[in-house]
Amino acid sequence: MKKLFVIFSFLFLTVNLFAMDYRLTITKANKAYSDGLYTNALELYRQILKDGYESADLYYNIGNVFYKMNDFTSAILFYERAKKLNPGNEDIEYNLKVANSKIADKIEPIPDLFYRRWYTSMTRQFSVDTWAKAGIIGFALTLVLAAFYVISRVLFIRKLGFWLGIILFFLSLFCFLFAYQDFRNLKNQTEAIIFAPTVTIKSSPDDKSIDLFVLHEGTKVQLMDQIGNWFEIKIANGSIGWLPSSSIERI
């Protein structure tokens, strides 16, 4: 027992020390950013990433640093990463739009069908953790209402418990569905940002294939397939082609 106590105490102390060190680094980085020392702030933020910590706020702060340094392509990359972790954040969305206005390519997206727009907007309202917590709470309340339905002898309470339980059950299912969709979006790195100043999109994964169109740095693409060092990509207007993997950075 004494050995277990010593081990747990050591682990607890280590975690606390790491948390204190992390908070201290964040404070230093934020101060460096406020003082206009963007290179120093970037080094500190990147150190936190190397230590294995990530969050929407951290990616957002790194995006802000790159924006201040006029590196709009890197700013877009980190704003997109922040958006994946916190899709409903208005500050991230606004800064991402501003950064996108600074790049060369202005691609008009193909309008989605109304139900796909609704589904996408719903899943992006909250993070995966928020949707999962809402689903768990809804399911727990469903069980409580089911207990009222079984135990109560009052007809009104039984009816109320039954219908509210049905509604909450389906709402919790929707929450779990949205959480699963957000989780898949986080795990599947199927989007990327072009980092080459200009890249010619080819008709096939071959330098000698037909030139289709040209994209510039900062443009977001969807990754469709990979053959060797080539990716098949799709852009917002539906155009498809191939580019070398060295010209992109996954979100």
**Closest Cα to residue 221, out of 186, 192, 185?**
192
Residue 105 counted as domain residue: no
Domain boundary among 187, 203, 233: 187
Domain boundary among 48, 76, 100: 100
23 and 88 inside one domain: yes
The single residue listed with the structure tokens 């990616």 is 59
Residue 107 counted as domain residue: no
Per DSSP, 46 falls in state H
| pLDDT tens, the chain, 251 aa long | 544 444 444 444 444 544 556 788 889 999 999 999 999 999 999 999 998 888 999 999 999 999 999 999 999 999 999 998 888 899 999 999 999 999 999 998 877 777 777 777 777 778 788 889 999 999 999 999 898 888 888 888 888 889 999 999 999 999 998 888 878 777 777 899 999 999 999 999 999 999 999 999 999 999 999 999 999 999 999 999 999 999 999 99
Domain boundary among 74, 100, 126: 100
Burial of 4 by CB count in 10 Å (0-12 exposed, 13-18 middle, 19+ buried)? exposed
In which domain, by residue range, is 89 found? Answer: 2-100
Q: What is the pLDDT of residues 216-235, one digit of tens each?
A: 999 999 999 999 999 999 99
85 and 13 inside one domain: yes
Residue 211 counted as domain residue: yes
Residue 54 counted as domain residue: yes
164 and 206 inside one domain: no
Residue 168 counted as domain residue: yes
Q: Which residues of 49-84 are buried (b: 16+ CB within 10 A; e: fewer)?
A: eeeeeeebebbbbbbbbbbeeebbbbbbbbbbbbbb
Distance between CA atoms of 233 and 105, rounded to whole angstroms? 15
12 and 43 inside one domain: yes
C-alpha atoms less than 13 angstroms from C-alpha of 150 in its C-beta half-sphere: 6
Q: Domain total for the chain?
A: 3
